[in-house]
């Protein structure tokens, strides 16, 4: 009785009224491949076991899969999610083969009772790969007819099929520009094939070129000219920030620019840049920041998409023993809170991050206030801690190449594009650090509406947590606290390191409140997070000191690692998610 009463009070105090508007589309995007691997996946292999799903209409789904997919449907329904894209945006043409579509239909049949519609990412060159055509030109009549026939085939199997997600002419993926056509030509051709069935096309704006200037400006420059030209069932899917799911970014300026085009935002639930399945980083505060800006500027979105953090990490008989006592779905149990938070914010856009965190902990751990409040505070501070010990004051994309887990602001492999290298973003030199995006630099600030444009452009008014995003700042420049930029940078890395250590201490004290196996699995992760925070702290400060030529503050946390060893160290990208802290030099 008391637990039910407490839960009711929490809902009343901390969560929004159920009557508030939901986003129409509340979708998970699985970056799962047909072979079972998951791009940017940190929780094992894909839950979609295509080899075990029968294509024959008469054959039943294996019970172990049916049970799991029913559970998946129930979880998503309870979280407020109403759709799922089953496969990677870097899509394989085989996903549209007849056998794969029959298998997809079986998944759709299971998820339908939970209000979950199924969508597919499609490869734009599928007519060439599957249809024996010599072209995928969207203005070719045979290509358009191929897509219409494919849509008819899909809807015959899945009458409530949601539609297509498309990554085109981005990072090597095929698209309409291969034929001298435009995004409008490609998206509208697909939209015409789906329109009779009520399907939609979600066309991703994540498009950039090595020759395109400031990467933060390119999505805007690519799509602003097409505003108002897309079909009514085309939605432009835009990442929340203008670069790529960084721990902190300003809102992508494209959201403010498209006035006549349907838009949806793309978040990353999986923690590609915030610690994989090792580090705890509760993302609701980040998403809350984004939604607040969108609301303030009256930007109308039709949906939210979240790149899923789901895998088979603890799902027998498919899970692999990787040395951790894994949570069943997301490897890191506390990472499940991000799946939960995404669904809740998509359903209740005004919900508080604090209320979501408390309710998640009460529902999944304990109602004991001695557990709930300290761990709620831990979750609420976790994202800012990650920013502090990784990339404070607006630094961004200074990760190791490939896996994006550890620090490597010096990363510069031969043959890599400049906009894939950390130096492109931090631009550290003897004068200072940061990317000049003001009117005297790349002029990216001009893509923002007022008052954001003026605020970001002015060194004295730019928020300090985005300072190095928009400005190249002198190492000796004085910030609002009276200290130099260099001292502030040092103290921010310090703050993040101390926060990570405090998280481990907090979790240590939570042992009486939860079962031993769940506590110990998470404890190991918090210890690793604290160690990795020291790694980030030392590597970045030692590297940037080479440019600033300034001393560390005397009261800063001591450097523990040797600079030569750090600069040479390469984390094994095949096993970093289970690597031990003592693997660092």
Q: Which two tokens stand for residue 329?
A: 């779905």
DSSP state of 277: T
Q: What angle do CA 434, 436, 441 make, to 5 degrees?
A: 160
Give the model's pLDDT for residue 573: 63
Give the model's pLDDT for residue 10: 46
The average pLDDT across 309-318 equals 83
**140 belongs to the catalytic site:** no
The residue ranking higher by pLDDT, 1 or 167, is 167
Peptide bond into 317 cis (omega under 30): yes
DSSP state of 62: P
- pLDDT of residue 540 exceeding 80, the answer is yes
The average pLDDT across 5-9 equals 43
Give the model's pLDDT for residue 584: 55
- % residues pLDDT > 70 (the chain): 92
**244 belongs to the catalytic site:** yes
- 324 burial type by CB count under 10 A (0-12 exposed, 13-18 middle, 19+ buried): middle
Residue 581's pLDDT band (cuts 50, 70, 90): very low
For the entire predicted model, the pTM comes to 0.94
Architecture category of domain 393-435+472-583 in CATH: Alpha-Beta Complex (3.90)
- pLDDT of residue 16 exceeding 80, the answer is no
Give the 3-state secondary structure of 378-406.
Answer: HHHHHHHHHHHHHCHHHCCCCECCCCCCC
Give the model's pLDDT for residue 325: 44
The average pLDDT across 50-62 equals 95
**Whole-angstrom distance, CA of residue 511 vs CA of residue 201:** 48
- 554 burial type by CB count under 10 A (0-12 exposed, 13-18 middle, 19+ buried): exposed
Q: How far is CA 354 from the centre of its chain?
A: 20
* Helix locations, 297-395, DSSP H: 336-347, 353-364, 369-390
Query: Choosing from 185, 222, 249, 272, which is the catalytic residue?
Result: 272
- % residues pLDDT > 90 (the chain): 87
- pLDDT of residue 326 exceeding 80, the answer is no
Q: Would you say 103 and 46 are in contact if contact means Cβ atoms under 8 Å apart?
A: no
The average pLDDT across 321-347 equals 83
Domain boundaries, given as residue ranges, for the chain: 21-347, 393-435+472-583
pLDDT in tens, 71-102: 999 999 999 999 999 999 999 999 999 999 99
Q: How far is CA 113 from the centre of its chain?
A: 28
Query: Choosing from 52, 67, 99, 171, which is the catalytic residue?
Result: 171
Neighbours of 213 (CB within 10 A): 14
Indicate the Cα dihedral angle 88, 90, 93, 99, nearest 10°. Answer: -10
Q: What angle do CA 173, 176, 180 make, to 5 degrees?
A: 120
Give the model's pLDDT for residue 313: 87
- pLDDT of residue 323 exceeding 50, the answer is no
- pLDDT of residue 8 exceeding 50, the answer is no
Query: Choosing from 227, 244, 350, 368, which is the catalytic residue?
Result: 244
Residue 4's pLDDT band (cuts 50, 70, 90): very low
- pLDDT of residue 555 exceeding 80, the answer is yes
The average pLDDT across 141-170 equals 98
Residue 575's pLDDT band (cuts 50, 70, 90): low
Neighbours of 4 (CB within 10 A): 9
- Overall CATH class of domain 21-347: alpha beta
- pLDDT of residue 462 exceeding 90, the answer is yes
**Whole-angstrom distance, CA of residue 41 vs CA of residue 311:** 7
DSSP state of 266: E
Residue 267's pLDDT band (cuts 50, 70, 90): very high
- pLDDT of residue 121 exceeding 50, the answer is yes
**272 belongs to the catalytic site:** yes
**Whole-angstrom distance, CA of residue 54 vs CA of residue 61:** 7
The average pLDDT across 453-467 equals 98
The residue ranking higher by pLDDT, 536 or 131, is 536
Residue 262 pairs in a beta bridge with 235
Residue 164 pairs in a beta bridge with 120, 201
Residue 264 pairs in a beta bridge with 237, 303
pLDDT in tens, 205-254: 999 988 889 999 999 999 999 999 999 999 999 999 999 999 999 999 99
Residue 305 pairs in a beta bridge with 27, 266
Residue 39's pLDDT band (cuts 50, 70, 90): very high
The average pLDDT across 364-373 equals 97
* CA nearest neighbour of 335 among 376, 275, 392, 381: 275
* CA nearest neighbour of 40 among 315, 397, 307: 307
Peptide bond into 105 cis (omega under 30): no
Identical topology for domains 21-347 and 393-435+472-583: no
Residue 381's pLDDT band (cuts 50, 70, 90): very high
């Amino acid at each position: 009785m008391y637990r039910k009463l407490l839960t009711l009070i929490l809902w009343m105090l901390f969560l929004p009224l159920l009557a508030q508007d939901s986003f129409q589309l509340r979708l998970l995007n699985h970056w799962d491949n047909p072979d079972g691997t998951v791009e940017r996946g940190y929780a094992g292999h894909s839950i979609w076991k295509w080899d075990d799903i029968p294509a024959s209409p008469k054959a039943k789904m294996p019970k172990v899969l049916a049970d799991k997919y029913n559970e998946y449907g129930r979880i998503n329904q309870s979280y407020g999610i109403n759709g799922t894209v089953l496969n990677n945006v870097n899509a394989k043409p085989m996903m549209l083969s007849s056998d794969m579509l029959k298998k997809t239909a079986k998944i759709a049949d299971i998820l339908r009772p939970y209000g979950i519609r199924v969508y597919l990412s499609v490869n734009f060159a599928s007519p060439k790969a599957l249809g024996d055509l010599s072209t995928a030109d969207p203005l070719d009549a045979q290509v358009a007819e191929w897509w219409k026939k494919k849509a008819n085939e899909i809807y015959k199997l899945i009458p409530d099929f949601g539609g297509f997600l498309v990554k085109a002419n981005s990072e090597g993926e095929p698209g309409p520009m291969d034929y001298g056509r435009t995004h409008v030509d490609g998206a509208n051709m697909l939209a015409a094939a789906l329109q009779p069935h009520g399907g939609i096309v979600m066309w991703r704006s994540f498009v950039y070129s090595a020759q395109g200037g400031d990467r933060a400006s390119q999505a805007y420059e690519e799509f602003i000219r097409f505003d108002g030209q897309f079909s009514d069932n085309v939605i432009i899917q835009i990442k929340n920030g203008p670069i790529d799911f960084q721990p902190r970014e300003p809102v992508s300026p494209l959201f403010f620019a498209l006035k006549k085009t349907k838009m949806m935002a793309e978040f990353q639930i999986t923690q590609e840049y915030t610690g994989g399945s090792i580090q705890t980083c509760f993302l609701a505060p980040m998403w809350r920041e984004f939604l607040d800006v969108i609301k303030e500027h009256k930007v109308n979105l039709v949906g939210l998409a979240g790149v899923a953090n789901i895998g088979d990490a603890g799902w027998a008989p498919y899970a692999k023993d990787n040395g951790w006592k894994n949570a069943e779905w997301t490897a890191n149990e506390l990472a499940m809170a991000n799946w939960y938070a995404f669904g809740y914010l998509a359903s209740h856009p005004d919900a508080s991050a604090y209320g979501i965190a408390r309710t998640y902990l009460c529902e999944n751990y304990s109602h004991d206030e001695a557990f709930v409040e300290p761990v709620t505070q831990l979750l609420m501070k976790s994202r800012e801690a990650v920013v502090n010990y990784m990339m404070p004051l607006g630094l961004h994309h200074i990760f190791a190449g490939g896996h994006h887990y550890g620090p490597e602001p010096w990363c510069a492999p031969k043959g890599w594009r400049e906009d894939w290298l950390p130096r492109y973003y931090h631009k550290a030199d003897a004068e200072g650090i940061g990317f000049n995006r003001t009117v005297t630099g790349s002029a990216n600030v001009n893509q923002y509406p007022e008052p954001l444009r003026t605020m970001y452009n002015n060194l004295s008014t730019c928020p300090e947590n985005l300072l190095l995003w928009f400005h190249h700042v002198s190492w000796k420049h004085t910030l609002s606290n009276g200290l130099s930029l260099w001292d502030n940078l040092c103290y921010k890395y310090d703050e993040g390191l101390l926060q990570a250590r405090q998280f481990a201490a907090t979790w240590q004290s939570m042992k009486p409140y939860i079962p031993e196996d769940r506590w110990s699995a998470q404890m190991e992760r918090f210890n690793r997070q604290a160690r990795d925070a020291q790694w980030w702290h030392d590597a970045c400060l030692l590297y940037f000191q080479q440019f600033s030529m300034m001393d560390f503050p005397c009261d800063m946390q001591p450097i523990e690692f040797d600079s030569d060893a750090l600069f040479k160290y390469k984390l094994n990208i095949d096993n970093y998610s289970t690597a031990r802290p003592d693997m660092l030099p």
